[in-house]
């Protein structure tokens, strides 16, 4: 059985973008009230008394947009300072990064994934649901700043959407040739955006690989990350290309993670809506942390069964109740 040692921690469900694959278009979301967010102290307590004693050593901060969380730099500092933390990373849309990258790095964040679905400002604006002038440039500046500050590896996440950014696959892949950047192509999943999703709404990773292979050739890379990406590279390039194929392949047997939502729900499997534990309520009711740890240990124990047998439980309609921004993608 895979060691589950990786926790993705959502810091906030709010976001300054409205990406069409992430949020239902037009609909207002019920945001988590500030008092319902796990506090800084609650997150640290859960790490120290529950997750680290159970063997978790790798943490990723996400959202929503994690850089919108007040006090995010302090939180990075405190998590990085925990002796058990082997790996601390963040997934961000990069919009606020140019002013925050240095502070985050100094606080102990060394790895970062930035979402960048297009190199064309207009297409970018269509995807992220905002047509504010300069928004692509500001995001690109954020990526450049992170690179200069020294984030290594620096990964760019691309969700490929047919008819929207599919024709940029080669241009985005080319970013890995001259720089040690890792471009990760993610198959679009039907989470939180049922109206956009149809059988041909996603591009299989193999199709993406073939386009790149046709242009430059493609070889398997010996660099492997913590996650489910299959890693390749263009021969002679400095960076790599990752493919996250949750639609066309099942990688549940490699799953090493759990997700903690900004309001404290611990989710054993991205696709399962029913097997979660409400850690925030337990903490605020004064439940002893030993007891909370036992509950999480039990969830870890039954996680393989949840992964395989109850994967889509709670989603019989094919529609997930929470969006990626709410789950903490
Ligand atoms: N706001 C940050 C960002 O966009 O990087 C972090 C949160 S976002 C939910 C994390 C990742 O989930 C992003 O790389 C995004 O592209 C991906 N994502 C969101 N919705 C998705 C979907 N329906 N299918 C596949 N990936 C998705
Ligand atoms: Fe926001 Fe990230 Fe979702 Fe885009 S993918 S709407 S940036 S949370």
Q: What is the CATH number of the domain that holds 317?
A: 3.20.20.70
Question: Considering the domain boundaries, does residue 49 fall inside one?
Answer: yes
* CA of 329 relative to ligand 1 center, distance in Å: 5
pTM more than 0.85? yes
How many Å apart are CA 328 and CA 270, to the nearest integer? 9
Confidence of residue 190 (pLDDT cuts 50, 70, 90): confident
DSSP per residue, 53-78: TTT--EEEEESS-GGGSTTHHHHHHH
Q: Is the pLDDT of residue 90 over 90?
A: yes
How many Å apart are CA 227 and CA 206, to the nearest integer? 18
- Number of structural domains in the chain: 1
- pLDDT at position 191, please? 73
- pLDDT tens for 121-131 read 999 999 998 88
- pLDDT at position 246, please? 77
Question: Considering the domain boundaries, does residue 243 fall inside one?
Answer: yes
Ligand 1 close to Cβ of residue 63 (< 6 A): yes
Question: Considering the domain boundaries, does residue 11 fall inside one?
Answer: yes
Q: Is the pLDDT of residue 317 over 50?
A: no
Q: Is the pLDDT of residue 170 over 60?
A: yes
Domain limits for position 162: 6-327
Give long-range contacts, CB 8 A cutoff, 24+ apart: 38-43. 38/260, 38/262, 38/263, 38/264, 38/279, 38/280, 40/71, 40/74, 40/75, 40/78, 42/264, 42/280, 42/283, 43/9, 43/75, 43/79
- pLDDT at position 210, please? 96
Ligand 2 close to Cβ of residue 65 (< 6 A): yes
Question: Considering the domain boundaries, does residue 35 fall inside one?
Answer: yes
* CA of 185 relative to ligand 1 center, distance in Å: 11
Q: What is the dihedral of CA 154, 165, 234, 90, to 10 degrees?
A: 20
Ligand 1 close to Cβ of residue 325 (< 6 A): yes
Question: Considering the domain boundaries, does residue 22 fall inside one?
Answer: yes
Ligand 2 close to Cβ of residue 23 (< 6 A): yes
Residue from 67, 114, 324 to probe ligand 2 pocket by mutation (most atoms less than 8 Å from CB): 324
Q: 67-99: b or e for each residue (b if 16 or more CB lie within 10 Å)?
A: bbbeebbebbbbbeebeebeebbbbbbbbbbbe
Task: Report the pLDDT averaged over residues 201-218.
Answer: 93
Question: Considering the domain boundaries, does residue 121 fall inside one?
Answer: yes
Question: Considering the domain boundaries, does residue 1 fall inside one?
Answer: no
| Backbone angles phi and psi of 313, in degrees to 5 | -60, 135
Question: Considering the domain boundaries, does residue 101 fall inside one?
Answer: yes
Q: Is the pLDDT of residue 281 over 90?
A: yes
């Amino acid at each position: 059985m895979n060691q589950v040692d990786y926790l993705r921690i959502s810091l906030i469900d709010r976001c300054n973008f409205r990406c069409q694959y992430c949020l239902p278009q037009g609909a207002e979301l019920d945001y988590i009230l500030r008092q319902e967010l796990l506090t800084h102290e609650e997150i640290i307590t859960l790490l120290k008394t529950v997750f680290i004693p159970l063997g978790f050593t790798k943490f990723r901060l996400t959202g929503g947009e994690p850089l919108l969380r007040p006090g995010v730099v302090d939180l990075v500092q405190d998590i990085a300072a925990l002796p058990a933390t082997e790996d601390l990373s963040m997934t961000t849309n990069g919009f606020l990064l140019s002013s925050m990258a240095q502070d985050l790095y100094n606080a102990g964040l060394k790895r970062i994934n930035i979402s960048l679905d297009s190199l064309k400002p207009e297409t970018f604006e269509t995807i992220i649901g905002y047509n504010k002038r300069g928004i692509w440039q500001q995001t690109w500046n954020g990526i450049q700043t992170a690179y200069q500050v020294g984030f290594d590896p620096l990964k760019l996440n691309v969700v490929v959407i047919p008819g929207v950014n599919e024709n940029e696959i080669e241009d985005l892949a080319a970013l890995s040739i001259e720089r040690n950047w890792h471009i990760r192509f993610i198959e679009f999943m039907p989470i939180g955006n049922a109206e956009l999703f149809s059988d041909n709404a996603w591009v299989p990773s193999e199709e993406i690989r073939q386009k790149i292979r046709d242009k430059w050739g493609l070889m398997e890379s010996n660099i492997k990350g913590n996650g489910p990406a299959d890693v390749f590279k263009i021969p002679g390039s400095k960076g790599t290309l990752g493919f996250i194929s949750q639609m066309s392949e099942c990688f549940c047997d490699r799953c090493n993670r759990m997700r903690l939502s900004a309001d404290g729900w611990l989710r054993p499997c991205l696709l399962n809506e029913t097997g979660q534990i409400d850690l925030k309520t337990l903490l605020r009711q004064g439940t002893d942390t030993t007891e909370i740890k036992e509950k999480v240990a039990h969830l870890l124990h039954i996680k393989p069964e949840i992964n395989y047998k109850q994967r889509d439980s709670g989603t019989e309609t094919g529609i997930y109740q929470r969006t990626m921004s709410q789950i903490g993608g």
